[in-house]
């Protein structure tokens, strides 16, 4: 839209006229006194509101495509999670036993804003690739949402992937940036050791001049390789949303069915069964970095977990070594995949 764009905004009964020169972004913080600012942030969708875009920090990230004149692609997944957050902002969705207090819907939203702002500030552009070795980190879900907000493609790999292997994957897929657990950037061999720490992750920018683009791709979705050579499937935002909705219906996953997340969220299985129900309808997870048999019964009892998606060796272990206190009564649905049971 050329020239001045007259807008009138009403938030919590407070009306303010705006005059924005498209596609500039005007901070709503400037329009309200301090007591109003917190409810303003809670009330607004921070990604897009028509022509007016609001973030809690100054940024022009929603409009960047080189010309700074494009509205971002709408992400159905991001919109669905915005609804989850609006409904119950303080509800814990990621339980982190032994690490910290967990992440609420609002925490995940805040982390996704911080990560999106930093990814954009690093120079990563729409359709370029971020390779993540932090899928089972507390901010792993927020990183996926940040990529959706920016129309950036994500490739999430196993939590045990070494920094050297992550660098090689970045070369192979011509990634624009790498995401690692906070502080791990110094272990990278060729990339800048001065990665930026944000929301519990370290972001390391690569050679943007040779970064490949993946138009329309939300996720390069990995198989585990447990039954053969690992495969990567190209998935769009809409395909992931439909896949998640089918899984929710087919498996009968409810918004209150807390799930044990002890498998890699980077694999197709973990992402579809654990991450997508969380984003689409707010199904909580108990997130572990890896499977430790003694932790699972205790986690199920502590968090009233109902569902455990696992792989055959995990169930074989419990057949050979039944839990000392018996099987948790709440844990009523077990899912096996990844190999023949």
**Which tens digit of pLDDT belongs to each residue from 250-292?**
999 999 999 999 999 998 899 999 999 999 999 999 999 999 9
Top-confidence range, 141-155, 199-213, 223-237: 141-155
Peptide bond just before 23 cis, omega within 30 deg:
yes
Each residue of 222-244: pLDDT tens digit?
Answer: 876 766 777 888 999 999 999 99
Extended strands (E) in 51-187:
92-95, 103-104, 129-132, 153-156, 177-181
Consecutive H or E run containing 225: none
Distance CA 32, CA 34 (A): 6
Maximum separation of any 2 CA atoms in the chain, in Å: 72
Band (12; pLDDT cuts 50, 70, 90): low
Distance CA 2, CA 172 (A): 42
Each residue of 151-198: pLDDT tens digit?
Answer: 999 999 988 888 889 999 999 999 999 999 987 766 664 554 458 899
pTM: 0.77
Q: Contact 305/292 with Cβ under 8 angstroms? A: no
Closest by alpha carbon to 331, among 260, 256, 249, 272? 260
Q: Please check the confidence at residue 144 and state whether its pLDDT lies above 70.
A: yes
């Amino acid at each position: 839209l050329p020239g001045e764009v007259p807008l009138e905004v009403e938030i919590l009964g407070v009306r303010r006229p705006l005059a924005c020169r498209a596609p500039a972004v005007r901070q709503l913080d400037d329009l309200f006194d301090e007591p109003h600012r917190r409810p303003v942030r809670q009330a607004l969708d921070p990604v897009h509101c028509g022509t007016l875009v609001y973030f809690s920090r100054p940024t022009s990230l929603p409009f960047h495509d080189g010309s700074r004149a494009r509205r971002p692609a709408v992400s159905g997944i991001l919109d669905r999670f915005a609804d989850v957050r609006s409904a119950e902002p303080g509800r814990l969705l990621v339980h982190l036993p032994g690490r910290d207090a967990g992440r609420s819907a609002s925490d995940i939203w805040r982390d996704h804003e911080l990560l999106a702002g930093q990814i954009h500030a690093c120079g990563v552009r729409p359709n370029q690739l971020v390779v993540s070795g932090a899928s089972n980190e507390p901010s792993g879900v927020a990183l996926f949402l940040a990529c959706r907000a920016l129309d950036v493609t994500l490739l999430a790999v196993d939590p045990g992937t070494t920094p050297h292997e992550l660098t090689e994957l970045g070369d192979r897929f011509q990634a624009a940036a790498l995401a690692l657990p906070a502080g791990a950037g110094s272990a990278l061999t060729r990339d800048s050791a001065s990665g930026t720490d944000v929301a519990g992750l370290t972001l390391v920018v690569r050679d943007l001049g040779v970064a490949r683009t993946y138009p329309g791709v939300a996720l390069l979705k990995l198989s585990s390789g447990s039954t053969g050579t690992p495969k990567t499937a190209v998935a769009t935002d809409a395909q992931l949303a439909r896949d998640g909705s089918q899984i929710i219906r087919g498996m009968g996953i409810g918004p209150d069915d807390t799930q044990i997340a002890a498998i890699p969220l980077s694999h197709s299985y973990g992402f579809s069964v654990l991450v997508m129900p969380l984003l689409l309808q707010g199904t909580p997870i108990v997130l572990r970095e890896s499977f430790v048999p003694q932790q699972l019964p205790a986690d199920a009892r502590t968090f009233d977990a109902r569902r455990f998606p696992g792989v055959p060796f995990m169930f074989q272990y419990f057949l050979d070594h039944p839990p000392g206190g018996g099987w948790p009564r709440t844990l009523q649905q077990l899912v096996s995949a990844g190999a023949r049971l």
